[in-house]
Structures are given as C-alpha cells and as structure tokens.
Chains A and B, each alone.
Chain A
Amino acid sequence: MAEQKQDVLQVRNLKAYYQMAYFGVEREVRAVDDITMSIHENEVYGIAGESSSGKTSFIKVLAAAIRPPLRVVDGEVEFNFGGQKIDPNKASKEEVDAIRWSKLSYIMQGSMSVLNPVRKIGRSFEDFAFKPMGLPRAEFNSRVAAHLERLKLSPNVLNAYPHELSGGMRQRVTIALATVCQPQFIIADEPTTALDVVVQKDVLSMIRTVQQEMRASVIFVTHDMSVHANITDRVGIIYAGRLVEEGPTRQLFAQPKHPYTAHLVASLPRIGDTRERPALEGRPPNLSDPPKGCRFHPRCPLATDRCKQENPPLVDMGEGHRVACFHTDKVKPLIELGQPKVTRMAEGAPA
C-alpha cells in the first residue's frame, strides 16, 4: 500500500530575506528562514500560520515570483516535472515562462486585483490559456465555459470587465485561469477568502478533482483551518519564517505536537459558540530581530531555559510527522475532534 510517492518539489534549507537600506540603515526581514520540505505528486499540501509569518514570501520563492528586496540568500528549490528539473530562481526567464500556466500556476493573494481592468474576462482567458491549451477556437471556448460552470460562474462573465464582477466572482475567475490548463503544480495563496461557504465547497471540490485527474500537486495557503481540514492531505505550519510542524492532515489536527499548532487548531470558533476564546498572548515576533532559540518561546506556555537558547530542529516523529519543539511530549491537544461525517476520501484515496 505505501507506494513511495515521487517528489515533485524539493526545498532545501531555503532562506529568503527582504534586504533593504532605509535612510542608510540596513534592515533585513528574515521572512523565510531555513525551510526544508518536499511536495509529492498527487497531493494537496496546506500551509497555515500567523499573519505575517512568511507564508506568501515562501511561496513566492517557489513560484518564481520574487523581486527585490526579497532575495534567496541560501538553499535550493527544485521542481521535477517528469524528469525535467528546474530551479525557478536560477532558470532563465524563457525556461520559467515555458512552464508557467501549463505546468506551474500561481494564484496570488488578493489576486482578484491582478486582472487587467480594461480587458474583458474572455480576453484574459485567451491571453493566458489559448496557447498552452492548443485547442481549436470553438473547443477552447466550450472548454472555458464548462470550466467556469464548475465554479458556478455563468459564461456571461467572459463578456464582463473585472470591475463589473463581485469580489468572489473575480476570485473564482483567477482560480479558473490558473486551473483551466490543468497544470502539474498549483500554488494558491488564500484563493477562497471572498467566497460564501456553498460556493467555496464547489471551488474546493473542483480543485480537488482537477488535482486528482492530473495526479497534480497543490500548495494551498489559507488561514481557514476548516479548509485545510477538508482539502489537504498534509499540512505544514509556519511560525516566524520557519516550518515548525508538518504531518498528515488528520494526525496534525487530532494530535498536534507543537504548542503553536495546538493553539491554531483550537482557535477556530464554531457557530453557536459565544465563549471568548483565549487569544495567543503577545505579539508576532519581529522578523528583523527574531527571538533567540525557539522563536515561539516568548509566547509559549511550555517554554524552558533551553528553548530560550537553542533552536529546536525539525524532527521526524514517524509517519512523516515532523515537529520542531523540545517538549513535544508535554503538548496536549486543546480540543477533541469529533467523528468525521464521511470517509469517502480515505477509502477512495490513491495509496
């Protein structure tokens, strides 16, 4: 059963900093600080973490979307598209352009604002998808319309300008653009923030289907832990520029091993809840001058002297559950998961 899954992306000791000089004073924001991980084929990998912890910066590096002052200062990123290996930050612009949209697509955070305001939506589809898809015009048109339909958008939107669509409609248009060519690798940064929960389900289910049809890989960044719970196979938690925990989704939710993850999993309010939830004490660390040792120690209820001095390495605890904490044995889940409603994905899941 445990077929070894192919790695499609490997990230090794990646460090990417914003390096700036403000009025002659050098400043460095260490947004991605020594991340090592890999993404398999045929999986959805979720990334969660505090606001401003470096999630967007990290995936920008992966998506070859960085520009100064953000620089890769160390480490490697390597995609492997069926034997074709490419480091998006070292490859030439032509090489990167050749894989964009058709193999690797990136849905930026707030991407509903990137649509060209003076071009009708239909034009944007032609600009991005017509060539990579290489279909006769009529077939292209009907394929696009059918794809929009899956996202509960009428083909009329092709005839509209971006400002004539609601926030959530534009968000779905960018998702449609990024998925219509059925790329091998999709990177999505908060792609469903403007969707109601009914449509969100349609969208997530479309992404899941396209992913499974292609045995593609998806990196899905969101703050919404319930979305992670339902669409991902594995989840990685980023805290202050570092990957602090990673594991199979069910396990990470049921048995978080890092105190920050335990907090995150329990922080989601539910309908019917009127209790105040304890917020995390203290402020997000300053990435120009992060705390020594474990970066979570100033806010961690379990912190000891060792935590203040040493940086806990990411350790594999078995079954691909990796954690960076000295005191995992003391971490207790803060809530208990209920029984799942369905078991479909577990049964149908390709090994």
Chain B
Amino acid sequence: MNDILEVRNVTKRFGMGGVFGRNHITAVNDVSFTIEAEKPEIFTIVGESGSGKTTLARMILRLETPSEGEILFHGTRVDLRASRAERLKFMHEVQPVFQNPFEAFNPLKEVDRYLISTARTFLKLTKQSDIEQAMDDALQKVGLSYAEVKGRFAHELSGGQLQRVSIARALICNPTLLIADEPVSMVDASLRMAIVNLLKSLRDDFGVSVIYITHDLATAYYIADRIIIMQKGDVVEMGPARAVLDNPEHPYARLLKESVLSIDDAGYGDLDPATELMDQINKDRTGRTKMVTRDDGRLVRVAE
C-alpha cells in the first residue's frame, strides 16, 4: 500500500507560561490516520477551539515535533533535521495555508515577494514574465490578479484578499498535499464556495489531497470525503464525512452540529449557551475511553 501521509499514534504535549511555566497540556492525544496516494481526498478536521487542530497540522508540516508517535510521508519519517534538499523536496509536495493571514505575512515585505520566491524556488522559474504568469494564474484561481497585489503590503489588503493571497501562494508550486488551516474564514459566502469548489477541483482534476481545517460544517459537508472531530486533543469521532455529519454519534459531535446558527432565527437570537451539556461532556471524558468501529466505517469514542 502506498500512503502519502501516515499519522501514527501522535501525541503532543506542551508546557505553558514559557520555560518556567508549570502548566502542562496535551494538545494532541494519540491521533492516527492515513491518506492514500491512489485516493486523493479532502480530509477535514473540525472541532473545539483549542482542540489541537493547528498543532496537528504543524506537526505534519514539520514545524513541531511530536512528543510521541510518528508521521510518515511516502513511507519515510518526517525529520526536522533533514538536509536542505530534502526539506525543499518536502515543501514542494506539502504546502500550508496558515490560520491567520495577518500573522502569516511579514508586515515589512510586499506580499508578492512571497509568491515570487515560491515560484523561483519550486518551479525553478527565472524569467520575470514566466514568474508573473505563474503568479497571475494562481491569483486568478482565487478571484484576484497580479495587478491587484503587486507591490502591496499585507496591511494594504483587506482580510479576505490577504487570505486569498496565502491560498494562491500555496497553489503556485502544485503541491500533492495541501494543508489549509481555516482558509476561508474571512471571505463572503460566495467566494467561500468558489474557493471550496477550487479545492474540490484540485482533488478531482489534479489528484491533490487536502487537509481542510474548518469551523464551517456546511462546507465540510459539501466537499469532505472524511472528517475527524476533535475535542481537547482527542479524536471523538472519525469517518465518512456525510454519514458522520448527517448523524453524529458522540455527544460533543452532536452538540457541535446542533449549535450551528441558522438564519431562520433572524431577529430572534438563538444564543443560549449549552453550558450544562458541555460540562457533562467534559466530565464524561475524564473516565477511560476507547474508539469503537461502527458498521458505516466510522470510529466513535465511547466509555470503556
């Protein structure tokens, strides 16, 4: 079997409060999944704020080392200390779109310089006109153009424009795996659908696999093949996206779906927090739990 990515029992612990901090937290707890090379897919990660989604993505990108477990890329271990050539090869294939575009760009550097350096390094382009063409192609895919971003600094673009520039940058080098952390959180619904359709076409037409981290369950339903739902570092449910979202089984997964706001309530404000239910869910997770497999192929965390 040929896997692009294999995440094997990965755990990440952090100490908080700097070097002398005394609080320890398990950001990611024993997570495993694989993405097969023959089956490009959109693998969606949803879950609680602070549940370890970004940490998991950063470990896959080698920006963070797992405390336990390992991550294999095409069957070999992703090593933080690899040679420059190996690192470049990895980055050519695995590209990130970071969660907050306002943090992803250096305020003192024009945003197109990121695109230029990506085109130079990975596409080995040297002619100015070729580089501009490659940039414009990528920007057009997200509803922008090179003319719109040329010479602009991050603070000179709107939030949604910046977010789209960071998607375009990742697309320039035609990666085989795209790790997109909340890539559409700052764009309007129309553009959001356009970008989500772009991810779909990357999968269907170009065989790109996408790890799509999002809080938007509706787009997850729309494009995802598989989904994992995380809470406090644990995967609580994982499986075929539509089956899971149509009928979530774990109490947190159910609560998540029920909490999606609806425009039917326009003007009435359905904002009652689910405090009691959440307390109960948190209490239940302190006991011993295990993952069990259901008939439809999903895995659900249940009490032992």
Contact = CB atoms under 8 A, between A and B. Distances in A.
A71 interface: no
Interface in B273-289: 273-275, 278
Interface in A195-245: 195-202, 204-205, 208, 223-231, 233
Interface in A137-188: 156, 159-161, 164-169, 172
B268 A346 contact: yes
28 contacts: A50-B188, A51-B159, A52-B157, A52-B158, A56-B158, A110-B100, A110-B103, A112-B103, A156-B23, A166-B55, A167-B99, A197-B259, A202-B273, A204-B271, A208-B271, A229-B262, A249-B267, A252-B266, A253-B267, A264-B188, A264-B189, A265-B263, A270-B262, A273-B222, A277-B190, A280-B190, A338-B262, A340-B264
B187 A159 contact: no
Nearest to A23: B151
Interface band, chain B: 35 or more
B49 A168 contact: yes
B170 interface: no
Contact of B222 (A198, A227, A274, A341): A274
Given A52-B158, A112-B100, A280-B190, A274 B262 contact: no
B293 to A, nearest CB: 24
A337 interface: yes
Interface in A292-308: none
Interface in A243-293: 248-254, 263-265, 267-274, 276-277, 279-280, 283-284
B16 A199 contact: no
Given A51-B160, A52-B158, A198-B256, A161 B219 contact: no
Contacts of B54: 166-167
Contact of B269 (A22, A159, A169, A345): A345
Contacts of A252: 266
* Residue of B215, B255, B256, B272 with highest tally of chain A CB at under 10 A: B215
Contacts of A263: 190
B21 A229 contact: no
A248 B266 CA distance: 10
Contacts of B51: 166, 196
A194 interface: yes
A337 to B, nearest CB: 5
Contacts of A225: 189, 263
B103 A340 contact: no
A167 B143 CA distance: 26
A208 B150 CA distance: 41
A208 B288 CA distance: 38
B255 A283 contact: no
Contacts of A338: 262, 264
A113 B189 contact: no
Nearest to B101: A110
Contacts of A269: 189, 193, 218-219, 222
Nearest to B18: A161
Contacts of A190: 159, 185-186
Contacts of A168: 49-50
B271 A201 contact: yes
A-B interface, 10 closest residue pairs, ranked by CB to CB distance from nearest: A250-B267, A51-B160, A168-B49, A110-B102, A253-B266, A338-B264, A229-B266, A267-B189, A345-B269, A226-B261
B40 interface: no
B189 A51 contact: no
A204 B161 CA distance: 26
A24 to B, nearest CB: 14
B260 A197 contact: yes
A100 interface: no
Given A164-B16, A265-B263, A199 B159 contact: no
Contacts of B16: 156, 159-160, 164
B112 interface: no
B84 to A, nearest CB: 26
A304 B46 CA distance: 45
A168 B18 CA distance: 20
Given A110-B159, A196-B48, A272-B221, A223 B187 contact: yes
Contacts of B91: none
Nearest to A274: B222
Contact of B193 (A18, A271, A277): A277
Nearest to A205: B271
A19 interface: no
A342 interface: yes
Nearest to B157: A52
